[in-house]
Amino acid sequence: MMEYKGYIGKVEFDDEAEIFHGEIINTRDVITFQGQSVAELTKAFRESIDDYLAFCTERGESPDKPFSGQFVTRIPPELHRQVNVAAVLAGKSLNAFVTEQLQAAVQKIGGSRKAASKAKKIKAVKSSPRKVEN
């Protein structure tokens, strides 16, 4: 993942073409970039965003913001009822309750990724050969 000016890029490696390619994932507009090295990829990522913003300015259009803070989701009516009841019982609006639940889920996933990353680092340190000094 890469971030620049609030835009987030997702990168993949094409082993057949031996090239990194990516796209901006937090906008509805299509913005892509590619490079053969990390430095080239980073440069292309930033240039693609800068070019997109300049293009919007030239056309007198507002660039698509990474996110508006609003989204529509469809859930079964029974779940909708259950979530509403849970929000009322918690003394919160439906919006506040759902926001709180989404934040907790994201933190849990982020915490899991951090824990996994930390475990990998600890394992790497434990398995690395140590120099013994006399």
| 47-83 pLDDT, tens digit each | 999 999 999 999 999 998 766 788 889 999 999 999 9
- Cβ(50)–Cβ(63) under 8 Å? no
| Residue 32 is assigned to a structural domain of this protein | yes
133 has a pLDDT exceeding 50:
no
Q: What radius of gyration, in Å, describes the C-alpha atoms of the chain?
A: 22
| 93-119 pLDDT, tens digit each | 999 999 999 999 999 887 665 655 555
The domain of 13 spans: 2-59
| Residue 123 is assigned to a structural domain of this protein | yes
| 22-41 pLDDT, tens digit each | 999 988 889 999 999 999 99
Are residues 39 and 11 part of one domain?
A: yes
Q: Which of 31, 59, 87 is the last residue in one of the domains? A: 59
In 3D space, the residue among 105, 104, 87 whose CA is nearest the CA of residue 96 turns out to be: 87
Q: Total structural domains in the chain? A: 2
pLDDT of residue 113: 58
pLDDT of residue 70: 81
